[in-house]
C-alpha cells in the first residue's frame, strides 16, 4: 500500500512539472506530456443485443478518442460493462420466462464478444451483478447516508394490485408530458429523451398487467437535488467549481448544456434513490428489506467498480483514476442519459467528497435508420452481431460510415445505400486506391524496396509541408470531440496522396527520369505510412493490415507526418484494404431489414 502511495505521489509531481502550452486556431489547450484519463461508455442493459444506434452513440466515439490518447502515450483506463439491474432486465426475464440472472448472463457474454469483434478496445468490460460492484455500490450508499445526503420519506407511489408490486421506471408507462408520445416509461421517454417520474405520466398503465394502477404508501431514500443547485449551476454553465476553473464549459456540446440548463432553470427536485424490487443491489440499511438501489445510482458506480477490478488485475491504484485532480474524467453517452451523467452522478460524486467530476460529457444525438427512429420493440434495427456475420471482415467499413455520419450535434440517418456509396466511393476509390497504387508500383519497379528520396522540387516540399500538418489537425479535432471533422481530415490526407500521384504520374516518368520517380514514390510511401498510423483510431483492422503490408513496426502517432520509412526498406505485396460492395448485397440487406417488421 505504501509503495502505491509513493508511486501516486511521484506521478502527481511528474504531471505538475510536465505541462506544455499549445496554441491552435486561436484557442489554448493545456496539454501535459503524459496525462491520465478515465474514459467511460454508458453501460448497456444486458437485456438484448447491440444495434448500430448504440455503437454510434456511446461506444465508437469513445473508442476513437481512447485509441488516439493511447497513441499519444497517455495513461488511459477505458471502462464499460453490462448494466444488469433495473426494470428492463426483470421485464425481459418475465417475457422469456426465465430468471433475471439467466438473461444477464446470456446478453453479457453476447455483447462482450460483439464489442471485441468490432474493435471496441475497453480496458475492462465488467458487470454490475459482480460481487465487487455490489460491495462498492453499497459502501457508496452508506457513506452518502452517513453524511446526511439522503432524506428518508414515505409517500404514495403507483401500485399494481394484480401483480402485487410497486411501479416505477419501466414497470409503468403512459403518455409523455413533454412530447405527448405514447409509451413513455416512468423514468424516461425514449422518443424525446426526457427524464421523467411516474407521477408526470398522462394516463399511466402498469406494464405488467396493463391495468390502471392505484396509489399506495411506501418509504424510500431521496436525493434532494435542489440542495446542490448553488454549485451545480456554475459548474455546468461556466465550468467553475468552488470559485476555480474546472473545465471549459464552451467545449461542451450545446445539447448537453441545453438539457442541463432546462432542468436547473425548472428547479431541481428530490428523486428517489431506492426502489421496491428484489433484483438489484440491496439497500445496505436496517429496515430496508425488499428495497434495492435505483439503477441510476447503481449503474454509474459501475464505472468505479469496473476500474477497481481492472486496477486489481493490472497492479494499479484505482484511486489515481477517480480521486486525483490531475486525472480527466470523460463520459461518452447518448442524449437520453445526459441528466444522469451531468446532474445526478456529479451530485453523488461531489457529495461523497473524494471523487473528481467529469471535464466533458460529449453526448451524441440519436441515429435513425432509413428515415425512421431505431426501435428494438419493432425490430427496426441493424443488430451488430448480424452485421458482423453478413459482412465478414468489413468491420472498418461500418466504423467509417458510423463516424462519418455520427449524430454529434443533431439526429442523423443511416441508410444502406449511403453505406455502400461511402464504402465504394471513399474507402475503396480514395484511401484503398492510393495505398494499392503505392504498394503495387513499389513492388513492380523496385521489388518491394522503397526507393531513395533524392533532390526535392517545390511541389514535393509543398506536399511534405502539408503532410506534416495532418497529425495535429486530426488530433486537435479528436481532442475537441469532433470525430467527423477528424475523419474528414484523415481522408483529405489520402486525397493529397492521390492528387500527388495523379499530378506527377510516376508510372510514365519512370521511363525517362529514374531519380525523379524514386523521389515521388518515396514521398508517396511516407504518406502511406502516415495513413497507416493515423487510421488506427478510426479503422484499427485496416491499420493492422496496412502496417503489415508496409512492414511497419514500433511506430506511433508522434512519427506520423514525418519521414517514417527509410530508403531501401522492404515492404510486402499489396492486398486489398477494402472490398467493393455490390448492389445485390445492399438490396438483400434492405430486404432483410424490411422483412423484420
pLDDT confidence of residue 5: 46
pLDDT confidence of residue 188: 83
| C-beta separation of 17 from 75 below 8 A | no
**CA–CA dist 212, 162 (Å, integer):** 10
**CA–CA dist 168, 187 (Å, integer):** 7
**CA–CA dist 415, 421 (Å, integer):** 10
pLDDT confidence of residue 2: 46
What is the grid cell recorded at 440? 503495387
CATH number of 416-559: 1.10.730.10
Distances (CA, A) of 512 to 103, 410, 515, 518: 70, 54, 9, 12
**CA–CA dist 448, 318 (Å, integer):** 48
pLDDT confidence of residue 597: 67
**CA–CA dist 161, 493 (Å, integer):** 65
**CA–CA dist 178, 200 (Å, integer):** 9
- Per the rule left: phi > 0, alpha: psi between -120 and 50, beta: everything else, 269 is beta
pLDDT confidence of residue 350: 98
Looking at residue 42, the DSSP 8-state letter turns out to be P
| C-beta separation of 532 from 577 below 8 A | no
| C-beta separation of 114 from 389 below 8 A | no
| C-beta separation of 144 from 222 below 8 A | no
Report CA 433 to chain centroid distance, whole Å. Answer: 30
The alpha carbon dihedral of 437, 442, 448, 450 has a sign of negative
The CATH fold of domain 34-161+213-364 = Rossmann fold (3.40.50)
pLDDT confidence of residue 12: 45
Place of cell 409523455: 176
Rg (CA), the chain: 26
| C-beta separation of 535 from 542 below 8 A | yes
Number of neighbouring beta carbons within 10 Å of residue 49? 17
Distances (CA, A) of 382 to 54, 533, 535: 10, 30, 25
User: Where do the structural domains in the chain lie, given as residue ranges?
Assistant: 1-32, 34-161+213-364, 416-559
Per-residue pLDDT of the chain (597 residues; tens, 9 = 90+): 444 445 444 444 444 433 333 333 333 343 446 799 999 999 999 999 999 999 999 999 999 999 999 999 999 999 999 999 988 888 889 889 999 999 999 999 999 999 999 999 999 999 999 999 999 999 999 999 999 999 999 999 999 999 888 888 888 999 999 999 999 998 888 778 787 889 899 999 999 899 999 999 999 999 999 999 999 999 999 999 999 999 999 999 999 999 999 999 999 999 999 999 989 999 999 989 999 999 999 999 999 999 999 999 999 999 999 999 999 999 999 999 999 999 999 999 999 999 999 999 999 999 999 999 999 888 999 999 999 999 999 999 999 999 999 999 999 999 999 999 999 999 999 999 999 999 999 999 999 999 999 999 999 999 999 999 999 999 999 999 999 999 999 999 999 999 999 999 999 999 999 999 999 999 999 999 999 999 999 999 999 999 999 999 999 999 999 999 999 999 999 999 999 999 999 999 999 999 876
Instruction: Collect all residues with Cβ–Cβ distance below 8 Å to 372 and sequence separation of at least 6.
Output: 380
pLDDT confidence of residue 170: 81
Amino acid at each position: 500500500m505504501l509503495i502505491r502511495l509513493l508511486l501516486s505521489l511521484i506521478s502527481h509531481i511528474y504531471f505538475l512539472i510536465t505541462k506544455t502550452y499549445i496554441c491552435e486556431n486561436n484557442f489554448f489547450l493545456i496539454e501535459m506530456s503524459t496525462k491520465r484519463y478515465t474514459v467511460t461508455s454508458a453501460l448497456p442493459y444486458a437485456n438484448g443485443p447491440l444495434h448500430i444506434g448504440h455503437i454510434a452513440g456511446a461506444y465508437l466515439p469513445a473508442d476513437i478518442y481512447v485509441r488516439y490518447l493511447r497513441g499519444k502515450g497517455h495513461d488511459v483506463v477505458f471502462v464499460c460493462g453490462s448494466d444488469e439491474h433495473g426494470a428492463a432486465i426483470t421485464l425481459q426475464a418475465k417475457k422469456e420466462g426465465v430468471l433475471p440472472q439467466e438473461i444477464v448472463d446470456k446478453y453479457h457474454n453476447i455483447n462482450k464478444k460483439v464489442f471485441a469483434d468490432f474493435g471496441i478496445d475497453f480496458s475492462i468490460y465488467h458487470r454490475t451483478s459482480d460481487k465487487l460492484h455490489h460491495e462498492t455500490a453499497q459502501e457508496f450508499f452508506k457513506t452518502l447516508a452517513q453524511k446526511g445526503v439522503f432524506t428518508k420519506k414515505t409517500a404514495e407511489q403507483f401500485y399494481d394490485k394484480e401483480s402485487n408490486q410497486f411501479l416505477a421506471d419501466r414497470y409503468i408507462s403512459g403518455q409523455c408530458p413533454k412530447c405527448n408520445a405514447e409509451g413513455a416509461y416512468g423514468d424516461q421517454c425514449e422518443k424525446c429523451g426526457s427524464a421523467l417520474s411516474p407521477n408526470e405520466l398522462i394516463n399511466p398503465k402498469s406494464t405488467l398487467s396493463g391495468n390502471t394502477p392505484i396509489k399506495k404508501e411506501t418509504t424510500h431514500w431521496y436525493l434532494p437535488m435542489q440542495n446542490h443547485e448553488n454549485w451545480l449551476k456554475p459548474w455546468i454553465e461556466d465550468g467553475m467549481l468552488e470559485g476555480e476553473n474546472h473545465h471549459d464549459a464552451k467545449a461542451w456540446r450545446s445539447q448537453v448544456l441545453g438539457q442541463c440548463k432546462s432542468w436547473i432553470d425548472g428547479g431541481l427536485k428530490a428523486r428517489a434513490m431506492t426502489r421496491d424490487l428484489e433484483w438489484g443491489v440491496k439497500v445496505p440499511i436496517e429496515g430496508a428489506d425488499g428495497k434495492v438501489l435505483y439503477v441510476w445510482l447503481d449503474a454509474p458506480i459501475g464505472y468505479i467498480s469496473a476500474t477497481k477490478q481492472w486496477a486489481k488485475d493490472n497492479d494499479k491504484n484505482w484511486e489515481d483514476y477517480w480521486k486525483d485532480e490531475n486525472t480527466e474524467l470523460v463520459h461518452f453517452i447518448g442524449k437520453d442519459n445526459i441528466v444522469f451523467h451531468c446532474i445526478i452522478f456529479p451530485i453523488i460524486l461531489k457529495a461523497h467528497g473524494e471523487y473528481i467530476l467529469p471535464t466533458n460529457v460529449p453526448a451524441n444525438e440519436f441515429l435513425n435508420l432509413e428515415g425512421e427512429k431505431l426501435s428494438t420493440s419493432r425490430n427496426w434495427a441493424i443488430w451488430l452481431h448480424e452485421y458482423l456475420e453478413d459482412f465478414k471482415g468489413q468491420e472498418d467499413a461500418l466504423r467509417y460510415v458510423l463516424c462519418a455520419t455520427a449524430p454529434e450535434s443533431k439526429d442523423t440517418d443511416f441508410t444502406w445505400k449511403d453505406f455502400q456509396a461511402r464504402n465504394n466511393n471513399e474507402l475503396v476509390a480514395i484511401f484503398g486506391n492510393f495505398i494499392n497504387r503505392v504498394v503495387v508500383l513499389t513492388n513492380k519497379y523496385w521489388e518491394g524496396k522503397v526507393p531513395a528520396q533524392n533532390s526535392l522540387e517545390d511541389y514535393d516540399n509543398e506536399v511534405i509541408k502539408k503532410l506534416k500538418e495532418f497529425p495535429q489537425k486530426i488530433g486537435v479535432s479528436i481532442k475537441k470531440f469532433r470525430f467527423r471533422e477528424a475523419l474528414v481530415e484523415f481522408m483529405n490526407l489520402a486525397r493529397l496522396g492521390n492528387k500527388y500521384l495523379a499530378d506527377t504520374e510516376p508510372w510514365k516518368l519512370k521511363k525517362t527520369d529514374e531519380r525523379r520517380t524514386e523521389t515521388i514514390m518515396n514521398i508517396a510511401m511516407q504518406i502511406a505510412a502516415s495513413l497507416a498510423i493515423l487510421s488506427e483510431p478510426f479503422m484499427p483492422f485496416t491499420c493492422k493490415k496496412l502496417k503489415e503490408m508496409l512492414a511497419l513496426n514500433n511506430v506511433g502517432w508522434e512519427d506520423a507526418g514525418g519521414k517514417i520509412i527509410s530508403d531501401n526498406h522492404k515492404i510486402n505485396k499489396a492486398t486489398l484494404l477494402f472490398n467493393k460492395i455490390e448492389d445485390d448485397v445492399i438490396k438483400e440487406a434492405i430486404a432483410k431489414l424490411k422483412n423484420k417488421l
